């Protein structure tokens, strides 16, 4: 067994099908065709941060627990690692992300490596230090990052009746390995709800979960269903999402997967979105022992790298890292790699949009589940979920576009450069018309002339 995250092929039949496929066309040959594009006609990019929490360095406290289960595989000298990732670094990182626009997902492990509860106390730190750490997350992390639990402890499985770790150092009682693989959707949902309630008690918002290591890897249908159930139960999130898998192979799609859609014609539609990473951790690893390499993401000459492959495919390019490697024992190696990547991406591209995972999940739910029908001068849109920046390409070109909703029509502003596309605008040339607007739940009509 290997602790590092691995790719797992999605099981067949896991998800709900989209209402319609695109490009859309009508039986009327004079009707325009329509194709849903990426938000604002840009490529979403994001960063997934795993193994983060308040104060605790998960590598320092986790490695000896993993070594107890697999002594032949975990021989690192974990004692040389720092026990804490300090809030001074959280502030430095968070403020840089606010300034640079970097967004994504930041885990808060609720009961980090069984040290203590982030909603109450963690032995080794004062109550004031923990409260200050949580407030820092609210101040500098929440604006640009979704918060996820990474299950309860990320090490030992927890008896949710007692709140105590199971006393068995075997794979069957570790969150990263066997504990989750044969559980029902209801059993997983109860466990995940337990984790979510700790974050809620700590005053943190949440719309999704992250799986630790191999959690749910051979039980993915139940993982998806349990995420839908648990996140809606605890937080009432409209579109729950989760991160479980990543793919680094060029031939594999990394587009989000919209699963278990139901009630799309009702006032309470449901779905859950599986967010896929496109890189391995090439920042500094989960244990902060081996430095990473920015060139694996995008090379110095900007010509190649995994991010280049995915961005140029048009799919969301979502990097994956671990917090101990971003800090890298105070040397900040992973953080410096992130800065290099951001600088290179900015040099090469002008069509990227940094998004939280929840924002990507919402857009893909709308993209996959919205139905569109076309006529000569209008398009009828039926959307179970709203989303900002909904973007459609029409063919042929049009000079005037309006969005009609609730009997009121609002004209879109025509712009001369498609790079400046935003809500309420459209761009038209001989190749067609691109329109961008905030999609409302329910019925909308696009009127063209």
The pLDDT assigned to 29 comes to 54
Is residue 373 a contact partner of residue 26, using CB atoms and an 8 Å limit?
Answer: yes
pLDDT in tens, 127-183: 999 999 999 999 999 999 999 999 999 999 999 999 999 999 999 999 999 999 999
Spell out, as residue ranges, where the chain has pLDDT lower than 70: 1-30
The residue to which tokens 């729950």 are assigned: 240
Distance CA 177, CA 343 (A): 37
The pLDDT assigned to 374 comes to 85
Listed by start position, the domains of the chain span: 40-362, 386-448
| pTM exceeds 0.85 for this model | yes
- Helix count and strand count (H, E) for the chain: 9, 21
Per DSSP, the residues of 199-218 read HHHTT---SEEE--TTTTTT
Give the CA distances from residue 178 to residues 63, 107, 287, 387, in Å, rounded to whole numbers and listed in that order. Answer: 17, 22, 21, 38
The CA-based dihedral angle spanning residues 316, 103, 209, 215, taken in that order and rounded to the nearest 10 degrees? 60
Is residue 266 a contact partner of residue 442, using CB atoms and an 8 Å limit?
Answer: no
Give me the long-range contacts of 68-75 (CB less than 8 A, separation at least 24): 68/169, 69/169, 69/170, 69/171, 69/174, 69/177, 70/1, 73/1, 73/2, 73/3, 74/3
The pLDDT assigned to 5 comes to 31
Nearest to 298 by CA among 312, 277, 284, 315: 312
> What 3-state class would DSSP assign to 223?
helix
The pLDDT assigned to 274 comes to 98
Is residue 212 a contact partner of residue 149, using CB atoms and an 8 Å limit?
Answer: no
pLDDT in tens, 339-378: 999 999 999 999 999 999 999 999 999 999 999 998 878 8
Is residue 354 a contact partner of residue 77, using CB atoms and an 8 Å limit?
Answer: no
CATH architecture designation of domain 40-362: Alpha-Beta Barrel (3.20)
């Amino acid at each position: 067994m290997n602790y590092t995250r691995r790719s797992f092929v999605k099981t067949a039949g896991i998800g709900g099908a989209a209402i319609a496929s695109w490009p859309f066309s009508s039986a009327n040959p004079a009707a325009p065709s329509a194709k849903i594009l990426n938000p604002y006609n840009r490529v979403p990019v994001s960063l997934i941060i795993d193994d983060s929490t308040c104060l605790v360095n998960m590598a320092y406290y986790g490695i000896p627990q993993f070594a107890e289960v697999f002594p032949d595989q975990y021989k690192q000298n974990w004692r040389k690692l720092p026990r804490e990732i300090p809030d001074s670094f959280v502030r430095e990182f968070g403020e840089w992300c606010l300034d640079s626009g970097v967004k994504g997902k930041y885990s808060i492990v609720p009961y980090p490596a069984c040290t203590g509860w982030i909603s109450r106390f963690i032995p080794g730190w004062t109550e004031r230090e923990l409260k200050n750490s949580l407030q820092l997350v609210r101040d500098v992390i929440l604006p640009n990052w979704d918060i996820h639990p990474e299950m309860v402890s990320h090490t030992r499985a927890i008896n949710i009746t007692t709140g105590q770790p199971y006393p068995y150092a075997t794979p069957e009682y570790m969150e990263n390995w066997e504990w989750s693989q044969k559980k029902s959707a209801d059993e997983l949902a109860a466990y995940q709800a337990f984790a979510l309630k700790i974050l809620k008690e700590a005053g943190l918002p949440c719309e999704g979960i992250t799986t630790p290591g191999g959690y749910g890897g051979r039980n993915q249908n139940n993982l998806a269903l349990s995420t839908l159930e648990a996140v809606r139960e605890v937080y009432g999130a409209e579109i729950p999402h989760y991160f479980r898998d990543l793919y680094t192979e060029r031939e594999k799609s990394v587009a989000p997967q919209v699963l278990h859609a139901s009630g799309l014609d009702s006032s309470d539609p449901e779905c859950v979105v599986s967010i896929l990473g496109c890189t391995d951790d090439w920042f500094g690893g989960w244990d902060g022992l081996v430095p990473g390499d920015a060139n694996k993401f995008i090379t110095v000459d900007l010509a190649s790298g995994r991010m280049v492959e995915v961005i140029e495919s048009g799919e969301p390019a979502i990097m994956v890292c671990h917090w101990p490697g971003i800090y890298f024992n105070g040397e900040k190696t992973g953080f410096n790699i992130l800065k290099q990547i951001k600088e290179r991406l900015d040099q090469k591209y002008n069509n990227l949009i940094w998004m939280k995972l929840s924002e990507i999940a919402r857009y893909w739910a709308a993209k996959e589940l919205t139905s569109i029908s076309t006529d000569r001068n209008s398009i009828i849109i039926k959307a179970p979920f709203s989303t900002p920046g909904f973007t459609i390409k029409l063919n042929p070109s049009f000079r005037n576009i309006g969005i009609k909703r609730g009997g009121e029509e609002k004209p879109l502003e025509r712009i001369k450069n498609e790079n400046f596309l935003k809500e309420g605008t459209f761009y038209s040339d001989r190749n067609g018309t691109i329109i961008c607007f905030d999609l409302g739940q329910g019925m909308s009509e696009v009127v063209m002339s």
